[in-house]
Amino acid sequence: MLQILFSLENASVIETVVIPNARGRTTVCVSSQVGCAMNCQFCFTGRMGLRKHLSTAEIVEQAVFARKLFSDEFGSITNVVFMGMGEPLHNVDNVIKASAIMVDEQGLQFSPRKVTVSTSGLVPQIKRFLHESKCDLAVSLNATTDEVRNWIMPINRKYNLNLLLGTLREELRLRRKSIVLFEYVMLAEVNDSMDDAKRLTELVHGISCKINLISFNPHSGSQFKPTPDEKIIEFRNILIQSGLTVMVRLSRGDDQMAACGQLGEPGDYQLPLLRVPDKFQVAL
């Protein structure tokens, strides 16, 4: 895993991560904003608040530069994921334009199935993205109840699980052959119980999807602890038994603060941590 720092005209810095794979796939993880306004409680980038939306060119250049710099070393860049700094659909105009350039025959010529845009759950922008873009969608879910998601992902207070999943269920019926990737960061004693696994199978019922279970990557100031690997496997097995397609992403890059949820530098100003619900005080 390799980390690239880009310095922008206003002296802001964004981070891009290149992720080689032993099976010959090399992914570039691009940023869409400097910082992020969503304030997800487990995310280091979210501590920054929003500093700047990246332009279409600033987003595309990350993939162009990664291709030029690392293709000789790792082979062709095969995949692009909008999972770096920022909430991509909060910068929806530039992200849709950037992803279109990436898949255009006169652009970067990636397959639309190889470009994935992630979101924390901005429902109106999800509808727009699914109508206007050919690329894949990933949704950072991370909880099976509104109580937990309201706490760890404040966007849920505006677009709750029922609205988010109902929208996906309806929109994907109109977009045949498309599936959504649900990302689920495993937080010890918060969202990793076997009851959570059973609820998750019920929540995504009727949605064409894959589930990506992600080991939490600790960082300074974090309240959370990673779920043990053996419990992640147990959680995975319940999902598989219900017929779901499940991938497990154990930690990569956390030794250099390049892993999922670790990008950025909050600095002196940081968004506030939210009150921990009483039932989770002991767990943290």
**Of 58, 87, 260, 265, which one is the catalytic site residue?**
260
Find out if CATH 2.40.50.110 is the number for domain 2-280.
Answer: no
**Cα–Cα–Cα angle for 184, 179, 187, rounded to 5 degrees:** 0
Active site annotation includes 135: no
How far apart CA 122 and CA 134 sit, in angstroms, is 18
pTM: 0.90
User: Could you read off the pLDDT of 95-120 as tens digits, one per residue?
Assistant: 999 999 999 999 999 999 999 999 99
**Of 15, 58, 171, 183, which one is the catalytic site residue?**
15
Active site annotation includes 260: yes
pLDDT at 221: 64
**Structure-token match 């005209």, residue found:** 9
**CB burial string 109-124: b at 16+ within 10 A, e below:** ebeeebbbbbbbbbbe
If we measure between CA atoms, which residue out of 201, 144, 159 comes closest to residue 38?
159
Average pLDDT over residues 123-145: 97
User: Could you read off the pLDDT of 237-278 as tens digits, one per residue?
Assistant: 999 999 999 999 875 444 444 445 445 455 555 677 788 888
